[in-house]
Each structure stands twice: as structure tokens, then as C-alpha cells.
Amino acid sequence: MVATAKRGGKRIGYVRVSSVDQNVGRQLEGVDLDKTFTDKASGKDVKRPQLQAALEYVRDGDIFIVHSMDRLARNLVDLRTIVEDLTQRGVQVQFAKEQLTFTGDDTSAAKLLLSVMGAVAEFERSMLKERQREGIALAKKAGVYKGRKPSLTPERAQELRARVEAGEKRAGLAREFGISRETLYQYAPVRDVPVSARA
């Protein structure tokens, strides 16, 4: 269902990608919009700057358009809260992928559909995470899992350990090497650090 804005209303788009490498243009490609808000952030909660800006910007008569339910919220509670808040303010909410529009005058069946589809999306994400964990476990067992790229090259790590052992302050070394103190501990455990360097 394609929603039509009320007279004077605007079509406001919201786009979310979870990393800077993802293409934001594909989500609402070809959709006629008056203004778009884009977040490059995780959807683990609703505390996203552009989402909050969009929610403050929309007005009675506007249409709030999102590519899909999982781009707006990762869990059913947040999804329903946002949709209900917007529709109570006179804003229509449209999900392009699911081809669903919520207006505030929705029937019980429409509200149930929102809950069911939101729950299915949440379940699919949890299954994806479980498959990722299983894949990592199998890769580790097979000895092919590399994990995250090390913060320091072997040469830099050796230099760091040598300077710690020479008594240099680890706080200053962490800043110089561009790593956290926790990471520094991994390269140079406390047992290897002279008392004079533990400040």
C-alpha cells in the first residue's frame, strides 16, 4: 500500500545502515521524498541521532517512510512504540519492503500484523546471530578463524614490550601507539611490567 500525504504534509525518509561501508542509497531508491534522515549506526536501541532528529521533525499529516521494519528497530517493543507514537501524532508510517502503512486508524488485524511481522524479524536476527556464533566456533575448531586484525604489527608489539620492560610509563605508551590501556595489557601483562612503569 502506497501512502499519500495529507495536504501540506511531507514525505520523510529514514535510512539506517550499521556501518560506513554499507550503501545507504539502495534502501529508499526511487522513493519520492521531501527530506531524508540517515544513521550509520547499530539498531540495538533507539538512541540514534538521526532517528531522534526525524522523530522530532515529523508533523501531523506527514508520512514517515522506512525501507523495512528492521531498519527502524531491532526488537518488537521499540518497533511498536515508535509506530504507535507517530500514528498518535497524525503521522503515517510506511514500510517499503513489507508494503505496509500504519495510519493510527488501524484495525485490530493491522496491529496484530505489525506485532507478528516485527516478532518474525526479531526472530530472524537472533537466528542469524546464532548461526554466526556456530560458524565462528566451527572455524576455531578447524583452526581457520582469524578473528579481529591485531592492533599492532609483530614489530610494533615487540617494540612496545621492550619499552615497557625498559620502564616507560604505559599510559604514555598507550597514547603513542594509539591503543587503549586494556590492549596494552594484552601485549605487556602486568607481571612483565617493572614496578617503576606501573603508573
* Residue closest to 8 by CA, chosen among 30, 34, 36, 28: 34
Task: Write down the pLDDT at residue 117.
Answer: 75
Gap between the Cα atoms of 64 and 114, Å rounded: 16
Task: Write down the pLDDT at residue 193.
Answer: 43
Angle at 162 between CA 156 and CA 165, to 5 degrees: 140
Q: Which residues pair with 182 in a beta bridge?
A: none
Tell me the pairing of strands 35-40 and 11-17: parallel
Residue 129 one-letter amino acid: K
Classify residue 150 by its DSSP letter: P
Is 18 considered catalytic here?
yes
Strand order in the sheet with 35-40: 35-40, 11-17, 63-66, 92-95, 100-102
Please tell me whether residue 185 adopts helix, strand or coil conformation.
helix
pTM score: 0.57
Digit-by-digit pLDDT tens for the chain (199 residues) are 455 566 678 999 999 987 655 666 678 888 999 999 999 887 778 889 999 999 999 999 999 999 998 899 888 888 989 999 999 999 999 999 888 899 877 666 677 777 787 777 776 767 677 777 777 777 777 776 666 667 788 888 888 889 998 888 888 888 888 888 788 888 888 754 444 444 4
- Of 18, 42, 126, 180, which residue is the catalytic one? 18
